[in-house]
Structure 1
């Protein structure tokens, strides 16, 4: 099973605080944004990420099935209903001191992933907190080549030090739509392929997502720091 590495978004306190080890055993998670206002544009063209308690998706990475990504509850945040997950595409915090939570929500045809993260203090190291962040991961009403952008300042707070502000920019793009796509020998119809590119401190993080109508995320590819990580759907339960 894989554990979570830090994104380039978190590299600032690795490069500027010498007591934080670069060999933390934490793998990349999805890029994230500060919480934006609800995007109420565009009527949905279908349900490309079914959100209901006990919905679950199991992904394989490097031939190994990951922990199922399961919706375990709902929460009201800023007067919006979010669906809470136990992990993201099987990436967990097992075996590390990293603590993270993932939620999703849908507003019309816009899909959000919200994250917050922290590292508790341990002997010789202070606590680290990453401000709550949120991305638009899909706009299902956009045509092929349709794009969206988000720019924000991410805040990392290290115990005993002033907050660290980091500028981040993300560009999302619909690469393909209404296609047929095969994952692990299973052919899915009505698939949308999305590209998300994040730029942070001169580093580029590229993500590709394939969403199947009425099923959800069927494949995820993350390219960061010269490494590529793939997660492909194996089984799913959608209520």
Structure 2
């Protein structure tokens, strides 16, 4: 996912010379009862995408355990953040979570430390037009020339199911049982606001097949599945 993750570095965007990110979000709400496997998770599963004429691969390269749950680490050739950030996915009930590691970045002599986050990226048991949402208040700190402090940061997000059981032809291949969803995320870092709007398509027993993203209503990124390998 770009990053079903942009699912999803979705919230890792630059704000002037600084970065923003999200803290953990695995709330007490129910994870639901799954209706199928829309993001198969096994070691070495790969998805190859067409991204404006270039091929980008998403691959599950390892596993780690957090809180007694197995997470699958993703490697995304489309990650252009330049941060080499680790991120993982897992599934609990009908809810698919993306977890991003803590980040330390140096920009123009300013060191920024960002607390990693976890966000529910998809809920496969929701009907069309049903939504899920949350507000995060991550810890973001900085240091510069012997001075240090924190940046008040708020992230709000809303996911929405816009289609179920859809059929689409993508790069000459017909995919069925597709869930289409959107994720609208707004970051407010010390009064500076950025918005990322993303549409994702997930095919049952296959995974992500299309991703479309806009940043602040302008810059767009899109990629679509060419082929995949599942184990």
With the shorter chain as reference, the TM-score category is 0.7 to 0.9
* Cα distance in 2 for residues equivalent to 1:7 and 1:192: 19
Please report the RMSD computed on the Cα atoms of aligned residues, expressed in angstroms.
2.7
TM-score w.r.t. the length of structure 1 is 0.81
Alignment map for 1:146-225 (pairs within 5 Å) = 146-159=130-143, 160-201=147-188, 202-225=193-216
Question: Which runs of 5 or more residues in structure 1 are unaligned?
Answer: 15-19, 23-30
Change (3 A) 1:39 1:223: same
Aligned partners of 2:88 and 2:98 also within 8 Å:
yes
* Cα distance in 2 for residues equivalent to 1:37 and 1:131: 17
Q: Deviations over 1:69-90 (max 9, x none)?
A: 1111111112221111122xx3
Shift of 1:53: 0.5
Residue 221 (structure 2) aligns with: 229
Aligned partners of 1:193 and 1:210 also within 8 Å:
yes
Residue 128 (structure 1) aligns with: 112
Residue 86 (structure 2) aligns with: 101
* Cα distance in 2 for residues equivalent to 1:133 and 1:61: 26
Question: Which runs of 5 or more residues in structure 2 are unaligned?
Answer: none
Aligned partners of 2:22 and 2:155 also within 8 Å:
no
TM-score w.r.t. the length of structure 2 is 0.83
Q: Which structure is higher in strand share?
A: 2
Q: Deviations over 1:4-27 (max 9, x none)?
A: x98676545x2xxxxx389xxxxx
